């Protein structure tokens, strides 16, 4: 006697698929019935208010702000002269730490209390800790570095 080509597993999959179809159809009919009873048209509309929150009421038209397309700036804004520290290249500060054996240290700016790295290659005069110095800033690998450092 020949064996059936349809295995138990295949028949179970077919039964499962048919059951899913029936459940889906029942849910669809239940939704139709509920929408007929409540009188709603289905998916409710969501609005976005002026703060960007989702609400169910339409926004107030008096709060609407008109924006001209010419006012929208695309790209990176150009730096203004006040943003850079180029206007006063010579700055004053105090040496907070300096290791002459390793050849580096740090200077605290007297204006904004920022700490700047200083290397022995950027020194004009020999400096020690707690010395008052004048220096210029230059962009380094990890931030701003103090260069052309001399005692006051």
Q: Which domain holds residue 142?
A: 90-151
pLDDT for the residue 35: 79
pLDDT for the residue 74: 87
For residue 77 the two structure tokens come to 């804004």
User: In this structure, which long-range contacts are made by residues 105-109, counting pairs with CB atoms below 8 Å and at least 24 apart in sequence?
Assistant: 105/129, 107/133, 107/135, 107/146, 107/149
Name residue 147's beta-bridge partners.
136
Q: What is the CATH number of the domain that holds 129?
A: 2.40.50.140
Residue 81 domain-assigned (yes or no): no
For residues 47 and 95, state if they share a domain: no
Residue 51 domain-assigned (yes or no): yes
Low-confidence residues in the chain, pLDDT < 50: 83-86
User: In this structure, which long-range contacts are made by residues 147-151, counting pairs with CB atoms below 8 Å and at least 24 apart in sequence?
Assistant: 147/118, 147/122, 148/122, 148/124, 149/107, 149/118, 149/122, 149/123, 149/124, 149/125, 150/123, 150/124, 150/125, 151/125, 151/127
For residues 60 and 101, state if they share a domain: no
For residues 99 and 139, state if they share a domain: yes
User: How many domains does one find in the chain?
Assistant: 2
pLDDT for the residue 43: 66
């Amino acid at each position: 006697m020949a064996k059936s080509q349809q295995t138990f597993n295949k028949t179970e999959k077919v039964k499962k698929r048919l059951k899913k179809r029936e459940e889906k159809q029942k849910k669809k009919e239940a939704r139709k019935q509920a929408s007929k009873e409540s009188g709603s048209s289905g998916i409710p509309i969501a609005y976005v208010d002026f703060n960007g929150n989702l609400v169910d009421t339409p926004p107030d038209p008096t709060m609407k702000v008109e924006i001209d397309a010419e006012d929208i700036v695309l790209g990176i804004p150009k730096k203004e002269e006040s943003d850079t520290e180029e206007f006063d290249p010579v700055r004053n500060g105090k040496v907070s730490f300096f290791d002459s054996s390793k050849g580096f240290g740090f200077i605290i700016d007297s204006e904004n209390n920022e700490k700047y790295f200083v290397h022995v290659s950027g020194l004009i005069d020999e400096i020690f800790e707690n010395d008052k110095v004048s220096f210029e800033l230059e962009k380094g690998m990890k931030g701003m570095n103090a260069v052309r450092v001399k005692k006051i």
